[in-house]
Amino acid sequence: MNKVSAHYGHIRALRDVSLSVEEGEIVTIIGANGAGKSTTLMTICGIVPATAGEVRYLGRSIADIRADQLPAMGLCQVPEGRRIFPRLTIEENLDMGAFFRRDPDGVEADRNLVYRLFPVLFERRSQYGGTLSGGEQQMLAIARALMSRPKMLLLDEPSLGLSPMISQHIFRIVRNINEERGVTILLVEQNANIALKLADRAYVLETGRVVMEDTAARLRENPAIRKAYLGQ
């Protein structure tokens, strides 16, 4: 099933970007800084308006849908830089993730699941988001998105500013979420190395244009990609 087919031209940031994500896949978008990767996710969510083209989710156009209606449809973003709520406690942050939900039992079940996946969040659940370390904030951001019981997650540079070990840990959890819960993942990453190890397929973005599209395995072998993004 076609989850997202996006074909939009945005004069300043994105030009004629087309990509699609199938259900259950992990797709990543890699590229250098300023290539337009974050803009892509923000345009999907409608925070940045698309000046041309259309975005489709679950077979229908979501151009006229407000950003805050998307989590109810199963699409949730973990924005760049975490953007957790610093003066709310971890518990309250998670509650905000489930804000639109009307099934308290389901929310409770998801909260237990999230605490199982991220035990450190359970330990510090009464602490304020602003007091957490970078890695813990990233876990909180992902956990908060998970509280919305998403069908599809948009992850914007989860490894930003984190040590390799913590990034690995987080990516392992992302893979777990995809495999165990069947959540489709669209991942934007600057760290092409771990992104290509995690993903099934990948797009390469350069100055707002898609310059390459292939399976992750083939891209890892591609000499041009190796030189430009994998430091080989």
| Nearest 10 degrees: Cα torsion 217, 153, 62, 48 | -90
Cβ partners under 8 Å of residue 83, min gap 6: 141
Q: Which is nearer to another protein, 6 or 94 (CB)?
A: 94
Contact between 85 and another protein per CB under 8 A: yes
Contact between 45 and another protein per CB under 8 A: yes
Q: Which is nearer to another protein, 25 or 92 (CB)?
A: 92
Residue choice 71, 135, 158, 208 for contact with another protein (CB under 8 A): 71
The phi and psi torsions of 200 (rounded to 5 degrees) equal: -85, -50
- Site residues for another protein, 101-140, by CB under 8 A, read 126-128, 130-131
Minimum CB distance to another protein, residue 18 (Å) = 24
Q: Is residue 194 helix, strand or coil? A: helix
**Token output for 81:** 């830089």
Q: Is residue 189 helix, strand or coil? A: strand
Minimum CB distance to another protein, residue 187 (Å) = 16
Minimum CB distance to another protein, residue 5 (Å) = 21
| Contact by Cβ (8 Å): 209, 16 | yes
Cβ partners under 8 Å of residue 219, min gap 6: 196, 202, 204, 212, 225
Contact between 100 and another protein per CB under 8 A: yes
- Please work out, in degrees rounded to the nearest 5, the angle formed at the alpha carbon of residue 23 by the alpha carbons of 43 and 149: 75
Minimum CB distance to another protein, residue 231 (Å) = 32
Contact between 208 and another protein per CB under 8 A: no
Residues of this chain that bind another protein (CB under 8 A)? 45, 47, 66-72, 76-77, 79, 83-88, 92, 95-97, 99-100, 126-128, 130-131, 144, 148
